[in-house]
């Protein structure tokens, strides 16, 4: 019997149990995925209790992606660079930290839109928080030739680029500059929380140029069709949705824990239906 779970606060509405239970089912594995909601004041004590539970792996979400690091025995390179861990694998009693956010996102684009994500693609990331950092890392790892980052606070975009020695492939931009050249990219990824429900009338940029042949992507998954994506659709872009990133970062964690390759197409369709029904 495999035991997985999630730590975070609050997590009662997490979609992870649904995804992982379907993946376990798909692989005909006997296992469970439990929620361990930990109050911030109890973190240090509860994390030691978790060590005793002999889980096979667990996910880590807000607000513990950084705090978990000091409890790990090992950390992989991406997670170390990102300074954030969202997946822990337990191997021979040791806790090994990973970060599947960026790579999950890039995998989800590669799966669905391989024609958009080629080495010669030019990509623009909007925003410079933790999600932007993970996606930037994963895009550079994949060898993408140009990845610019635009942010309201341009210095934060500069920081991310410099942390990865990305100056040859990347320019930091203001939101206004990005807005003016939105039609110059193959892929534009929105990584900020702007447009998230209940502020679903907001968009980080105004889209007002023809975008035929481009892919526009938003990591916000509520609503599914954000104002950013809605505008892009009106100007002819293909769309990639936030729920796909959410799904694929979970699949990536599952693969790390189980060394399996689940068939995800049908589960993803069901996941989209589940979200629409909520
Ligand atoms: P994460 O959860 O990914 O770490 P975060 O640190 O909250 O997110 O970062 C959110 C991102 O959204 C930042 O890039 C932030 O811009 P600043 O760095 O200038 O603060 C961006 N963001 C949030 N609200 C915004 C707004 N109203 N307009 C433009 N950008 C905004």
Rounded distance between C-alpha atoms, residue 184 and residue 186, angstroms: 7
Ligand 1: does its nearest atom lie under 6 Å from the Cβ of 159? no
Respond yes or no: is residue 65 known to be catalytic. yes
172-173/146-150 β-pairing? parallel
The two tokens of residue 252 are: 């990536």
Q: In testing the pocket of ligand 1, which one of 62, 127, 176 has its CB within 8 Å of the most ligand atoms?
A: 127
Q: Percent helix, strand, coil in the chain (nearest 5)? A: 40, 20, 40
- The CA 205 to ligand 1 mean position distance, Å, reads 13
Residue 77, pLDDT score:
93
Residue 278, pLDDT score:
78
Q: Do 224 and 110 fall within a single domain? A: yes
Q: Which atom of ligand 1 is nearest to the CA of 130?
A: 4
172-173/31-37 β-pairing? unpaired
- The CA 128 to ligand 1 mean position distance, Å, reads 6
Rounded distance between C-alpha atoms, residue 185 and residue 214, angstroms: 7
- The CA 202 to ligand 1 mean position distance, Å, reads 13
Q: Do 80 and 154 fall within a single domain? A: no
Q: Do 95 and 141 fall within a single domain? A: no
Residue 264 belongs to domain spanning: 2-99+244-277
Q: Do 259 and 218 fall within a single domain? A: no
Q: Do 132 and 224 fall within a single domain? A: yes
Q: Do 80 and 114 fall within a single domain? A: no
Return phi, psi of residue 190, to 5°: -95, 115
CATH number (domain holding residue 22): 3.40.50.10860
Residue 38, pLDDT score:
98
Q: Do 195 and 227 fall within a single domain? A: yes
Q: Do 126 and 226 fall within a single domain? A: yes
Residue 111, pLDDT score:
85
Ligand 1: does its nearest atom lie under 6 Å from the Cβ of 127? yes
Q: Do 26 and 140 fall within a single domain? A: no
Q: Do 108 and 224 fall within a single domain? A: yes
- The CA 148 to ligand 1 mean position distance, Å, reads 16
Residue 9, pLDDT score:
98
Q: Do 110 and 187 fall within a single domain? A: yes
Q: For the chain (length 278 residues), average pLDDT per consecutive 10?
A: 98 96 97 98 97 96 97 96 96 97 91 88 96 96 96 98 96 98 97 97 97 95 96 97 95 97 94 91
Residue 253, pLDDT score:
97
Out of 45, 65, 184, 230, the active site residue is: 65
> Which value, to the nearest 10 degrees, does the dihedral of the CA atoms of residues 187, 188, 189, 192 take?
170
Yes or no: say if 6 and 35 are a contact pair by the CB < 8 Å rule: yes
């Amino acid at each position: 019997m495999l035991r997985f779970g999630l730590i975070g606060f609050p997590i009662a509405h997490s979609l992870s149990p649904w995804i992982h239970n379907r993946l376990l089912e798909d692989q005909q594995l006997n296992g469970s995925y439990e929620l361990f909601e930990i109050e911030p004041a109890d973190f240090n004590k509860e994390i030691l209790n978790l060590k005793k539970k002999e889980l096979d792996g667990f996910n880590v979400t807000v607000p513990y992606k950084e705090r978990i690091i000091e409890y790990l025995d090992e950390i992989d390179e991406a997670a170390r660079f990102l300074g954030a861990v969202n997946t822990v694998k337990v191997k021979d009693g040791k806790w090994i930290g990973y970060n599947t956010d960026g790579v999950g996102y890039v995998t989800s684009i590669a799966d669905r839109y391989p024609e958009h994500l080629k080495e010669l693609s030019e990509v623009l990331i909007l925003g410079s928080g933790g999600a932007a950092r993970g996606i930037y890392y994963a895009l550079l790892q994949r060898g993408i030739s140009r990845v610019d980052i635009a942010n309201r606070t341009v210095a934060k975009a500069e920081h991310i680029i410099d942390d990865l020695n990305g100056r040859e492939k990347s320019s930091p931009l203001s939101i206004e500059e990005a807005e003016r050249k939105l039609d110059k990219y193959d892929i534009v990824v929105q990584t900020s929380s702007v447009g998230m429900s209940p502020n679903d009338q907001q968009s980080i940029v105004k889209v007002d140029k023809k975008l035929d042949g481009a892919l526009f992507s938003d990591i916000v998954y509520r609503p599914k069709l954000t104002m950013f994506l809605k505008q892009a659709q009106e100007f002819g872009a293909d769309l990639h949705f936030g729920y796909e990133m959410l799904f694929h970062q979970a699949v990536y964690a599952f693969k790390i824990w189980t060394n399996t390759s689940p068939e995800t197409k049908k589960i993803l369709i069901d996941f989209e239906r589940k979200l629409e029904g909520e």
